[in-house]
Chain A
Amino acid sequence: MSTLSRKGQLSRDEVAHLAHLARLAVTDEELDLFADQLAAVLDAVAQVGKAAVEDVPPTTHAVPMTNVVRPDVARPSLPRDVVLAGAPAAEDGRFRVPRILQEEA
């Protein structure tokens, strides 16, 4: 990714870019604070690079996993009104979402 510089460093601009990717509208103060703190954290976690890991397989999960399937039987879902009761906005029995198209699209 061209916007990210060499590892072990994290500039204010990079933090802003990552925050955008993660849909976080961070403030200028947060950018200053996080850039400093994350640089320190990144230094610490970069220690993993010290390990000799040639031919070591990654562990994604502590328990050996195989595909898990359940019987192909329909089960009742939660009632629609119960689910929508927790939504920030609902309309006509559906989730109401913010605008998804641009004016000039």
Chain B
Amino acid sequence: MSDVPSMNVDELQAALADGATSVDVTRAYLDRIAAADGELGAYLHVDPEAALARAAEMDSAGTRGTGLTGIPIALKDVVVTEGVPTTSGSKILEGWKPPYDATVAARLKAAGTVLLGKTNMDEFAMGSSTENSAYGVTRNPWDPQRIPGGSSGGSSAAVAGGLAPWAIGTDTGGSIRQPAALTGLVGHKPTYGSVSRYGLIAFSSSLDQAGPMARTVLDAALLHEAIGGYDPLDSTSIDAPLPVLAEAARRGAEGSLAGLRVGVVRELGGEGHADGYEDGVLTSFGAAVARLEAMGAEVREISCPAFDLALAAYYLIAPSEASSNLARFDGVRYGLRVGDDGARDLDEVMALTREQGFGPEVKRRIILGTYALSSGYYEAYYGQAQKVRTLISRDFSAAWDGRNGDGVDVLVSPTTPTVAFPLGARVDDPIAMYAADLCTLPASLAGVPAISVPCGLSEGLPVGFQIMAPALADDRCYRVAAALEAALTDERGDRGFLDQLAARAATTEGAA
């Protein structure tokens, strides 16, 4: 089954229902991993024997050929998996095998999926390029000299490169949407609280959400339905039914957006706010907006003034929460311990362990967070950032409610200001790196759902289109994204956005 790695999950489901085996499907991905991951570096851990054994088990299960039974998947290494090494991209957890499954992992297991492996990521999900991993860089399948985005860059590279049919990512300030945008995938950050955080190694607890990264909007919706919903093990989990997502994607693909009210956010690439945005990105974004209009949507510009402060607020709130969350890595209960020679006391051992176990970006953020939370500075930094967070939520509310009934149903923007940048271009400049999250931060801070769907190419590299919706209206993101995806696929006359990557690879090989 050599064409397996280019199949969408709904096509894999049809093949399995038709008699194909999960062992053959799984082997096709393992072959692809063996051939391509040496260059891409998407995975931190792959256990082919375990994957094939699990696939064989699913082939003999009573649920064979139904639902997600036998469908392979990759998990970002921030997701705790029982008995399977989990590092969160950090040396401090090298070799750790967790004693339990995260809810996301447990639900995917219960659904019958086959774990291919754990994917690379910026250490503790802190980064926008996956260059902060302690285990080496991951390359973008569209151009191996460029970053795959981050922090879920192993997941984005794996799916775009055909090394997994889909993958789980996590998003704190854009870590699903930005890598999805830079590799031509669909990536969705669910409403905060709608996917369980139990068993995700915590970075910034009030922002972290797990979500799907996939080849198509429908695939992303199917994966989201498999992981979402109330979980008593997460005290911030929302006890409400998940909206119907796959059906929203199918309906959206029918093409009509009549009556949909779309707001284009001025502060995210609009007039007077285009500094740092590439022309090619803005052109592609503008064409997609025009296409929504052509499908019947009513489009107008919306101003969300507090979005200008989202980056500043985020880089106070997230490091503050991280400095507290990462205190658990003390060299006592799990992971690395350094310098325990009997002469050094606990404090020294802890400081040496954390010095050796954490990379530079993690240290920078712990120091910044410690500062922002310290007495005398708390109000000016952390307290002020939390108030700005309120202002950002109010901008969203004002957009949905409008004045005199002129509210909008969704807000849209580019997903990132630029296409994938070259490896190394921003590693020494934290501020430049942080700017990659400019467009994704407001939805994170307000806890609202947001999806990135590919809307075109600029300089031969993918551009992402972001659709944000009110809390718990994730189905709107899927509906609008599916409509745009279907229109663009029709126009190109292919099976999906990633066909362009396959065509490009074929051309390159032909030329070589």
Co-assembled chains A and B: yes
A residues lining the B interface (CB < 8 Å): 1, 4, 7, 10, 14-15, 18-27, 30, 33-34, 37-38, 40-42, 44-51, 53, 56-63, 65, 68, 70, 78, 82-83, 85-89, 95, 97-102
Supplied contacts A10-B371, A23-B347, 5 more A-B pairs, CB within 8 Å: A7-B381, A34-B360, A88-B335, A89-B337, A98-B349
Could you write out 16 A-B pairs with CB less than 8 Å apart? A22-B323, A38-B364, A48-B309, A48-B381, A49-B380, A56-B390, A60-B206, A62-B447, A63-B192, A63-B236, A78-B99, A88-B334, A88-B337, A89-B337, A97-B332, A98-B337
Say yes or no: is B241 at the interface (Cβ < 8 Å to chain A). Answer: no
CB of A89 within 8 A of CB of B306, answer no
A18 to B376, CA, bound (A): 14
Given known A-B contacts A48-B316, A60-B206, A61-B236, A95 and B370 have beta carbons under 8 A apart: no
Instruction: Please list the 10 inter-chain residue pairs (A to B) with the smallest Cβ-Cβ separation, ordered nearest first.
Output: A62-B447, A58-B386, A88-B337, A47-B312, A25-B351, A53-B387, A25-B355, A68-B235, A98-B349, A59-B389
CB of B346 within 8 A of CB of A18, answer no
Partner of B333, one of A1, A10, A40, A86: A86
Say yes or no: is B48 at the interface (Cβ < 8 Å to chain A). Answer: no
CB of B206 within 8 A of CB of A45, answer no
A45 to B310, CA, bound (A): 10
In the complex, what residues of B have CB within 8 A of residue A24's CB? Answer: 351, 354-355, 358, 363, 366-367
Say yes or no: is B385 at the interface (Cβ < 8 Å to chain A). Answer: yes
Say yes or no: is B462 at the interface (Cβ < 8 Å to chain A). Answer: no
A76 to B410, CA, bound (A): 45
For residue B100, which residue of chain A has the nearest CB? A78
CB of A45 within 8 A of CB of B316, answer yes
- Chain B residues numbered 216-270 whose CB sits less than 8 Å from any CB in chain A: 232, 235-236, 238
Partner of A41, one of B377, B393, B430: B430
- Closest Cβ of chain B to A105, distance in Å, is 10
CB of A4 within 8 A of CB of B371, answer yes
- Closest Cβ of chain B to A20, distance in Å, is 8
CB of B336 within 8 A of CB of A48, answer no
CB of B366 within 8 A of CB of A22, answer yes
- Looking at chain A's contact residues, the main secondary structure is loop
A60 to B135, CA, bound (A): 33
A42 to B377, CA, bound (A): 12
CB of A86 within 8 A of CB of B374, answer no
A102 to B97, CA, bound (A): 34
For residue B326, which residue of chain A has the nearest CB? A22
Say yes or no: is B214 at the interface (Cβ < 8 Å to chain A). Answer: no
Given known A-B contacts A25-B354, A45-B312, A83-B99, A100 and B387 have beta carbons under 8 A apart: no
CB of A88 within 8 A of CB of B336, answer yes
For residue A33, which residue of chain B has the nearest CB? B360
Partner of B388, one of A18, A34, A53, A100: A53
- Chain B residues numbered 330-350 whose CB sits less than 8 Å from any CB in chain A: 330-337, 340, 342-350
CB of A98 within 8 A of CB of B364, answer no
CB of A63 within 8 A of CB of B193, answer yes
CB of B345 within 8 A of CB of A51, answer no
For residue B82, which residue of chain A has the nearest CB? A82
CB of A45 within 8 A of CB of B374, answer no
Interface centre among A15, A50, A62 (most CB of B within 10 A): A62
Say yes or no: is B431 at the interface (Cβ < 8 Å to chain A). Answer: yes
Partner of B367, one of A22, A68, A101: A22
- Closest Cβ of chain A to B421, distance in Å, is 19
CB of B354 within 8 A of CB of A51, answer no
Given known A-B contacts A56-B390, A57-B387, A88-B337, A41 and B431 have beta carbons under 8 A apart: yes
For residue B96, which residue of chain A has the nearest CB? A86
- Closest Cβ of chain B to A89, distance in Å, is 6
Partner of B346, one of A10, A82, A99: A99
CB of B315 within 8 A of CB of A45, answer yes
CB of A50 within 8 A of CB of B235, answer no
Say yes or no: is B446 at the interface (Cβ < 8 Å to chain A). Answer: yes
CB of A40 within 8 A of CB of B381, answer no
A50 to B387, CA, bound (A): 12
In the complex, what residues of B have CB within 8 A of residue A46's CB? Answer: 312, 381
CB of A51 within 8 A of CB of B344, answer no
For residue A69, which residue of chain B has the nearest CB? B235
CB of A62 within 8 A of CB of B446, answer yes
In the complex, what residues of B have CB within 8 A of residue A102's CB? Answer: 345
In the complex, what residues of B have CB within 8 A of residue A26's CB? Answer: 355, 363
Say yes or no: is B297 at the interface (Cβ < 8 Å to chain A). Answer: no
